Structure 1
Amino acid sequence: MQIEASQNDNKVRISLEGVVDEKGAEELKKTIKQLPLASVREVEIDCSRVKHIGSSGIGKLLLLYKHLASNGGQLRVTNLTGPLFELFTELKMDTLFTITRQG
């Protein structure tokens, strides 16, 4: 899995590519830990090049959401493929943070 992160003021954009399995989730966790989350108000995670997200990856997204929400920030997961969008909707993740479908 490849991860690219960039910060612009209090907004962070993370682009993921590949499969977010257990190993990928640990890489994502490391990337998140390097961010100055205390000063970040918005994190966008671009999933346009993600083929699959496993339970470990979803868990890391939920931990990130929890941390951001406790500090008044927000999480957006964007460009989900159809099957991933359906999975996130079934898990009711759209009730916690904004999700958008690819296209």
Structure 2
Amino acid sequence: PTGCGKSEIARRLAKLADAPFIKVEATKFTEVGYHGRDVDSIIKDLVENAILLVRQKLRERAASTIRQHVEAALLKLIMQQHPEEHAHALTSAAAAAEQNQ
């Protein structure tokens, strides 16, 4: 039945699952006299777009993690090459970090 909240429930579930949600009115594609793509190709396009959205989110999450690992590796290399120059700076930074907690 119309107006009972089906779309809103689907939208909220998608948000909770961190999944893409696209609402399409199928009646637009089934009207008398409509000549265009068939319903299967429309659904296929929607699924492909959803897959692209999910892949983009995964790339963004991975980029953040990779950035953190690269920064940690670079800091480790710098510290190994010049430990005496950075020892005081690290001690001061660690003390400041502890005070902020």
Which protein is bigger by CA-based radius of gyration? 2
More strand by share: 1
Superposition TM-score tier, normalisation by shorter sequence:
under 0.3
Structure-1-length-normalised TM-score: 0.25
More helix by share: 2
